[in-house]
Amino acid sequence: MELSALLLQVLNGLDKGSAYALIALGLTLIFGTLGVVNFAHGALFMIGAFCSVTLQRLLSTSVITLDETKLDFLGNPAKISTPYVNTWFGPDIGNAIIDWSVPLAILFAIPIMLLIGFVMERGLIKHFYKRPHADQILVTFGLAIVLQEAVKYFFGANQIPAPAPDMFVGSFDFGVYIGMNPGKLMYPYWRIVYFLFALVIILAVFSFLQFTTFGMVVRAGMADRETVGLLGINIDKRFTIMFGIAAAVAGLAGVMYTPINPPSYTMGMDFLVISFVVVVVGGMGSLPGAVLAGFLLGILESFASIRQVIDVLPGINNLVIYLAAIMILLARPRGLLGRKGVMEN
Amino acid sequence: MSSEKKRSQLPLTRRSVLKAGAAGIAAGTAPMIISTKAHAYLNEPKGSSVTLGFNVPQSGPYADEGADELRAYELAVEHLNGGGDGGMMGTFSSDALQGNGILGKKVEYVTGDTQTKPDAARASARSMIEKDGAIMITGGSSSGVAVAVQGLCQEAGVIFMAGLTHSNDTTGKDKKANGFRHFFNSYMSGAALAPILAANYGEDRVAYHLTADYNWGYTTEEAVRTSTEALGWKTAAAVKTPLAQTDFSSYIAPVQASGADVLILNHYGANMVNSLTSAVQFGLRNAQSNGKNFEIVVPLYSRLMAKGAGENVKGIFGSTNWHWSLEDEGSKAFVKSFGTKYGFPPSQAAHTCYVQTLLYADACERAGTHDPCGVGEALEGFEFDGLGNGPTLYRAEDHQCFKDVLVVKGKENPENEFDLLEIVEVTPVSQVTYDASIFGGELGTCNAG
């Protein structure tokens, strides 16, 4: 096998791992702060993706005029749609705004996801803090199905394309920078953007927790909630905000994922199970563990998808993450970076 | 219209239990009953109406396609009962349909949700047959479902008019006497596509197949592979992809290094949307291989899929059973009727479902009975025209319709949101006809319940 093929799978793995790491990071934030196993987290990823679709549609809202010179499929005068943004800013700027709807959706999604997170936590999940994990799983899984069906009701079951801006369409020739022949190692621009975006978000979350007073209190609360409460700090309020932040992280992962695969209402469920495995492998409650396991398992899955591997072990690409999880948990029962005491009382 | 609609999941009542029990006893003692009562058959309509069962995906990944099928069925029922503008009843070569229902009985319908799962589809079909008295089951958006429901209808003793199912097996190794398919199949796609591919891309090509890992994927790969290899193409590799796969990057990434210069995506629905999106992202559309432009082919196209894949379909060849832009009188009448009622043109799934309903009703009229065996006999070898695909034959040997096949291409400059595919060629039926025995299977004998 050529070096370029191996490097390609590393890049693929980093890309898959980006999505796993972002979702697992949010899951761990919620589990570490509130002790809740949130099965609706995949649905938050999906809602983030549909924020992209919604913004694209809002920006494409058009004024309809009839063009007598053209006919529609029924033979009536054709309806010509001119987006309002084109009318307001001229076609060049208007089209550029629509073209950039996915990156712009980051700004659109943050307040929406924070709000959804707050409402979810205050409206439903807080009532289940003292209930067994099984109850939490049932209620959040039920919520995931409700959210999924709600999205299907409004957007339909078919996938909806939400492409990347034109300047990010196509592939980047990695190979020529490391001495390979041109065309040997091409990788899509947007997937590189996705990986870099994931790194920025992960760094931002860690910095927030590490370098702000708010973050310090949250970390203290994660370590010993009772003592922090006794110091007169309203830790519940801060944990609610953390739930909102976790929802926003999942949502942003979804927003930027839309050009990779056109979103559908089922996309959250596709990521949910693997993200849980990532959290467990990383170590329950460990944020660096979630990120590390996300990238590791992403790369592992990618290597297992190489045709030469599948030819020898058919179906291994679907199993490898779970096999690795079993082996890691046998060797390190608390996961890669799990600490003593978490989920053990 | 709404008064005609009954729910398929009716609560269990004493009457329905007795009815189901009686049906069960009748099934168990069928030979005896048939010998003493020559015209009895399952769900024989006794009152002034006849009930059809529309079994379509109302949930799951093909729910939008199922919704379009249901729209077509509602339109067909309206036309059969004399409502609306009559649609293709006015262009149909047979004049047996009078707009007074089927054999004078008003057409009513029940619906079931296949969920695109064979087990769920069988359960909903069984419920419609046993509880609601459906005399014919039709619809579906998957070959797995079609084969499963066709088998059930054969056992139960009702006619099955398949919806969207493209696997060779539906009218090949899994064919049944009670089952009929209007939609085309993988073999026909391969036979129609190969010459166009050779004409556009040359005969010296190396193909790389990605194939959905289930029945339809296999038959499509085989059909396209056989047809293209016969014209001189070589096959570099054929890789199976899990049906549940969403990220195809690991499968797409090695394609270019394999020495292939054409990627053939034997995928449907979300599989196709995702694999094509990945292929375009990885730059295959603009790549060069073996000194030629790299090309992508999607053997089975649908407008809904093309919509999901967006810009990525532009210039990509595929085949389709029917397209709303056809200019024959039947297609125009159907598009007008459907478009006026719903505000957008029908999909190929809607077309085949509408046509199947009309063909069933027409066969009942010509046979003078709702008896599945009589209806089946009327459909076998039936030649017709005016339903959108030109002259068509319902072949008696395998219950497969033979008609022209459309080779299409993703349109470069669409004029509106529905204008996604353009017809490149109408492949004549003679070019896609095959011997009925090549896919094996036995029709068996018809079962009237």
Nearby residues of A252 by Cβ (< 8 Å), 6 or more positions away? A22, A48, A106, A109, A110, A113, A197, A201
Question: How many Å apart are CA B418 and CA B175, to the nearest integer?
Answer: 34
Give how far B250 is from chain A: nearest CA, Å: 6
For the cut 60, the answer to whether the pLDDT of residue B38 exceeds it is no
B85 touches chain A (CB under 8 A): no
Chain B touched by A73 (CB under 8 Å): yes
Whether B42 and B72 map to the same domain: the answer is yes
Q: Reply yes or no on whether the pLDDT at B21 is more than 80.
A: no
Nearest to A262 among B60, B277, B324 (CB): B277
Question: Which are the contacts of B173, defined by CB distance < 8 A and separation ≥ 6?
Answer: B439, B440, B441
| pLDDT given for residue A256 in this prediction | 96
Under an 8 A CB cutoff, do B256 and A186 touch?
yes
What confidence score (pLDDT) does residue B108 get?
A: 97
Inspect the interface and report whether the beta carbons of B249 and A15 lie closer than 8 Å: yes
**ipTM, interface predicted TM-score of the complex:** 0.86
Q: Where is B69: in which H helix or E strand?
A: helix B63-80
Q: Is residue B440 part of a domain?
A: no
Selected residue with higher pLDDT from A169 and B77: B77
pLDDT value at residue B35: 36
Which residues 22-51 on chain A approach chain B with CB closer than 8 angstroms?
A: none
Q: Is B416 among the domain residues?
A: no
Q: Which of A159-173, B389-403, B408-422 has the highest mean pLDDT?
A: B389-403
CB B83 within 8 Å of CB B75: no
Neighbours of A207 (CB within 10 A): 11
Any B CB within 8 A of A190 CB? yes
Residue where one domain finishes, among candidates B284, B300, B320: B320
- Using one digit for the tens of pLDDT, what is the confidence trace for B314-355? 999 999 999 999 999 999 999 999 999 999 999 999 999 999
Residues of A in contact with B87 (CB under 8 A): none
- Digit-coded pLDDT (tens) for B78-112: 999 999 999 999 999 999 999 999 999 999 999 99
CA distance B153 to B125: 8
Co-location of B374 and B245 in the same domain: no
Do residues B312 and B400 share a domain? Answer: no
Looking at the structure, do residues B192 and B180 belong to the same domain, yes or no?
no
> Is the separation of the CB atoms in B355 and B346 below 8 Å?
no
Residues of A in contact with B63 (CB under 8 A): 152, 156-157
Domain's final residue, options B298, B320, B342: B320
Residue B30 confidence class, pLDDT cut points 50, 70, 90: very low
In a domain, B424, yes or no: no
> Do B345 and A73 count as a contact with CB atoms less than 8 A apart?
yes
Q: How, if at all, do strands A77-83 and A62-71 pair?
A: antiparallel
Q: Do A262 and B63 touch (CB under 8 A)?
A: no
d(CA A332, CA A281): 9
DSSP letters spanning B142-199: -HHHHHHHHHHHHHHT-EEEE-S---GGGGTTT--TTEEE-S--HHHHHHHHHHHHHH
Note the helical H segments in B170-328.
Answer: 186-201, 215-230, 249-252, 270-281, 303-309
What is the three-state SS of chain A? CCHHHHHHHHHHHHHHHHHHHHHHHHHHHHHHHHCCCCCCHHHHHHHHHHHHHHHHHHHCCEEEEEEEEEECCCCCEEEEEEEHHHHHHHHHHHHHHHHCHHHHHHHHHHHHHHHHHHHHHHHCHHHHCCCCHHHHHHHHHHHHHHHHHHHHHHHCCCCCCCCCCHHHCCEEECHHHHCCCCCCCEEEHHHHHHHHHHHHHHHHHHHHHHHCHHHHHHHHHHHCHHHHHHCCCCHHHHHHHHHHHHHHHHHHHHHHHCCCCCCCCCHHHHHHHHHHHHHHHHCCCCHHHHHHHHHHHHHHHHHHCCHHHHHHCCCHHHHHHHHHHHHHHHHCCCCCCCCCCCCCC
Q: If you ran DSSP here, which 8-state letter would residue B102 be given?
A: B
Contact A161 B304 (CB under 8 A): no
Of A152, A186, A270, the CB nearest to B282: A186
Q: Does residue B9 have a pLDDT over 50? A: no
Segment A14-17 long-range contacts (CB within 8 Å, at least 24 positions apart):
A14/A195, A14/A295, A14/A298, A14/A299, A15/A191, A15/A194, A15/A195, A15/A260, A15/A298, A15/B249, A16/A298, A16/A299, A16/A301, A16/A302, A16/B247, A16/B249, A17/A294, A17/A295, A17/A296, A17/A297, A17/A298, A17/A299
The H or E element that residue B351 is part of is helix B348-367
Q: Do the chains contact at A161 and B311, CB–CB below 8 Å?
A: yes
The answer to whether residue B236 neighbours chain A at the CB level (below 8 Å) is no
Residues in chain A within 8 Å Cβ distance of B287:
183, 186
Ordered structural domains, chain A, with CATH? 3-60+101-331 (1.10.3470)
Mutate to test the interface with B, among A60, A146, A159, A192 (most CBs of B within 10 A): A159
Chain B contacts in chain A segment 74-93 (CB below 8 A): 74-75, 78-79
Same domain, B163 and B224: no
> Distance, in angstroms, between B61 CA and closest chain A CA?
6
Considering CB atoms only, which of A74, A190, A307 is closest to B254? A307
Measure in Å the smallest separation between the Cα of B4 and chain A Cα atoms. 24
Domain membership of residue B417 (yes or no) is no
The distance of A172 to chain B (nearest Cα, Å) reads 9
A70: chain B residues, CB-CB within 8 Å = 415
Taking the Cβ of residue A157 and every Cβ of chain B, the question of whether any pair is shorter than 8 Å is answered with yes
Both B26 and B170 in one domain: the answer is: yes
Q: Max alpha carbon distance in chain A (Å)?
A: 76
Domain C-terminal end among B273, B296, B320: B320
The b/e string for A117-130 (b: 16+ C-beta within 10 A; e otherwise) is beebbeeebbebee
Evaluate whether residue B215 is within a structural domain.
yes
Q: Cβ of B309 and A183 within 8 Å?
A: no
Contact call for residues A254 and A201 (beta carbons, < 8 A): no
- What is the per-residue pLDDT for B429? 96
Domain holding B292: CATH number?
3.40.50.2300
Q: How far apart are CA B69 and CA B79, in angstroms?
A: 15
The stretch B279-289 carries a mean pLDDT of: 88
Spatial separation of the C-alpha atoms in residues B55 and A44, rounded to whole Å: 32
Query: Domain range for residue B337?
Result: 2-184+325-404
Q: What is the pLDDT of residue B29?
A: 42
Interchain pair A264, B283: CB under 8 A: no
pLDDT range class, residue B61, cuts 50, 70, 90: confident
Q: Is A152 on the interface with B (CB under 8 A)?
A: yes
Distance, C-alpha B329 to centroid of its chain: 22
What pLDDT, on the 0 to 100 scale, is given for residue A123?
Answer: 93
Touching check for B250 and chain A: CB below 8 Å?
Answer: yes
- Out of A158, A305, A306, name the one closest to residue B304 (CB): A158
Residue B201 shares a structural domain with residue B156: no
B252 and B306: one domain? yes
The string of pLDDT tens digits covering residues B152-162 is: 999 999 999 99
Q: Residue A329 CB: number of other CB atoms within 10 A? A: 16
pLDDT at A7: 87
> Number of folded domains in chain B?
2
**Residue B411 falls within a domain, yes or no?**
no
Ordered per-residue pLDDT tens for chain A, 345 residues: 577 788 888 898 999 899 999 999 999 989 888 888 899 999 999 999 999 999 999 999 999 888 888 888 888 888 888 899 999 999 999 999 999 999 999 999 999 999 999 999 999 998 988 888 899 999 999 999 999 999 999 998 889 999 999 999 888 888 888 888 777 788 899 999 999 999 999 999 999 999 999 999 988 888 888 888 899 998 888 989 999 999 999 999 999 999 999 999 999 988 888 888 999 999 988 899 999 999 999 999 888 887 778 778 877 888 899 999 999 999 998 889 887 655 554
Residue B432 lies in a domain: no
Residues B6 and B90 in one domain: yes
Q: What angle do CA B330, B334, B336 make, to 5 degrees?
A: 120
Element (H, E) at B333: helix B329-342
Nearest CB to B246: which of A78, A158, A261? A261
Same domain, B374 and B313: no
Q: How far is B293 from chain A (nearest CA, A)?
A: 13
Do B115 and B136 belong together in one domain? yes
Residue B134 shares a structural domain with residue B262: no
Average confidence (pLDDT) over B172-194: 96
Q: How far is A156 from chain B (nearest CA, A)?
A: 6
With left for phi above 0 and alpha for psi between -120 and 50, is residue B353 left, alpha or beta? Answer: alpha
Phi-psi region of A229 (alpha: psi -120 to 50; beta: other; left: phi over 0): alpha
Mean pLDDT over each residue of chain B, to the nearest integer: 90
Q: Does residue B197 sit within a domain?
A: yes
> Which residues are CB-contacts of B294 (< 8 A; sequence separation ≥ 6)?
B256, B261, B262, B263, B284, B285, B286, B287, B288
Tell me if chain B has a CB within 8 Å of the CB of A62: no
